[in-house]
Amino acid sequence: MSDLTLNAELREVVGKGASRRLRRLEGLVPAIIYGGKTGGNARKPTNITLKDNELKKALENEAYYSSIITLNIGDKTEQVVLKDMQRHPARNDVMHADFLRVSKATIIKSSLPIHFINEDVCPAVKTGGAKINHQMTSIDVICAAGDLPEFIEIDLAETVAGEVIHLSDIKFPKGVESLALSHGEDHDTAVVSLFTPKGVAEDDAEDAAGEE
Q: How confident is the prediction along the chain (212 residues), in pLDDT tens digits per residue?
A: 468 999 999 987 666 666 667 777 678 899 999 998 877 788 999 999 999 999 999 999 999 998 999 999 989 999 999 999 999 888 888 889 999 999 999 999 999 999 999 998 998 898 888 999 999 999 999 999 999 999 999 999 999 999 999 999 999 999 999 999 999 999 999 999 999 987 654 455 444 444 44
| Same-domain check for residues 52 and 9 | yes
CB 148 within 8 A of CB 81: yes
| Same-domain check for residues 69 and 135 | no
| Same-domain check for residues 156 and 63 | no
For the chain, how many structural domains are there in total? Answer: 2
| Same-domain check for residues 86 and 154 | no
Range of the domain at 60: 5-102
pTM, 2 dp: 0.81
